Amino acid sequence: MVSGASRTDFASRVQADLRSLRTRLEQPGALIGAVRGANVSLDPFQVAAWLVWQAGEWIPAPCWAVVVPDVDEQLAVFAEQGLTPALHRSAWVAATRVVVRGAEFTSADLSKDQPDAAGACGTAVALPLIYRGRTFAALVALDPMPSATAPSLGVHVSAAMRTLLEPVAIALDNALSFQKAEALSITDDLTGLYNSRYLNLVLHREQKRAVRSGKSLSVLFIDMDGFREVNTHHGHLAGSAALVEAAAVIRDCARETDAVARFGGDEFAIVLPDTGPEGAIAVAERILDRLRVFPFLKTRGLALHLTASIGIASLPDVSGSAEDLLKAADQAMYRVKGSGKDGIHISEGTT
């Protein structure tokens, strides 16, 4: 048994395996396998998961990770094996180096690298994923223990790795583009909430599920009170900013399982699966309470206070289609409008 003190370090293990690694990477079926494996899915997380598995087959490392900038351009781990909390900083440092430089990065001991590597540790090998001349992600191998020297893949293995990673990078970039396009197709441009198209899709799906399972389903229809006055007195830009703030308040009042959408103008809707009237009322009251005290447009030197009228409709109390359920919630909202606003009304039966 080899003691911890005499354990061969990661760089040495990589060096010892270079010849057999080159043979595996350059075999005729390797490129075809990479193309097929990387294109098994249009889900970027599944593509990244396949790459992590394949990388582990190439080079046994204690940790492999695919790190990709997310929609906010912050680096995010899309897939990993063996990434302990202690290695998160190391993965971030190595991936950042690769994405910024657009080139392979290795380190014998990340803790002794430049000052911005503070908190990182161990040995690292990080490879760029490049498509159309842009490095958009990194494949990172980590060992929590430092090595005597930085790992070296050598000219031939590095070239073979680049060849095999090229179709993987194309597949991952395509999957990311598809994900972004799909998100845009169901998202309201102004508020970032779901749009009415997606609301209808979710409502139809949940209505069918509720009928099959016999469980409750509720819909909230929300209309901001007096919102036209914001546009009239403060301008449309201020009105748009206030809508963004209202959307954030409403979204924060919902659960992760709820679908929150901007229906149009200053109207919002929430689909609440597995929720009856009592649960829907609790969500609606939370929304009203938070809207009443929120200082709208505070960053513009104002502190407006707005309210909302909320209608609720629930299955099985309201019978009919998904459209009937939404219509009932809309009609219940207008009952609030007609009786003084800033309140809640529950639809009392069939539409």
CA distance 41 to 2: 42
Per-residue pLDDT at 116 exceeds 90: no
Last residue of a domain, one of 133, 151, 183: 183
135 and 83 in a single domain? The answer is yes
151 and 283 in a single domain? The answer is no
18 and 161 in a single domain? The answer is yes
Extract the tokens encoding 198.
């997606």
Domains in the chain, number: 2
Q: Report the CATH number that the domain containing residue 259 is assigned in CATH.
A: 3.30.70.270
Position 117 in a domain: yes
89 and 213 in a single domain? The answer is no
Of 116, 40, 42, 52, nearest to 78 (Cα)?
Answer: 52
CA distance 152 to 175: 31
Q: Do the beta carbons of residue 45 and residue 79 sit within 8 Å?
A: yes
Per-residue pLDDT, 92 = 92
Per-residue pLDDT at 4 exceeds 50: no
Give per-residue pLDDT as tens, 215-253: 999 999 999 998 989 989 999 999 999 999 999 999 999
Task: HSE, CB side, 13 Å, CA atoms: give it for residue 95.
Answer: 25
174 and 203 in a single domain? The answer is no
- Reply yes or no: is the peptide bond before residue 144 cis, omega within 30 of 0: no
Give per-residue pLDDT as tens, 142-199: 999 999 999 999 999 999 999 999 999 999 999 998 888 877 788 898 999 999 989 9
Kindly report whether the global pTM for this prediction surpasses the value 0.75: no
160 and 266 in a single domain? The answer is no
338 and 250 in a single domain? The answer is yes
Quick one: DSSP state of residue 8? Answer: P
CA distance 333 to 351: 14
Q: Report the CATH number that the domain containing residue 128 is assigned in CATH.
A: 3.30.450.40
Position 113 in a domain: yes
176 and 224 in a single domain? The answer is no
Position 50 in a domain: yes
Rounded (10°) CA dihedral 194, 330, 348, 291:
70
176 and 311 in a single domain? The answer is no
Domain range enclosing 211? 196-346
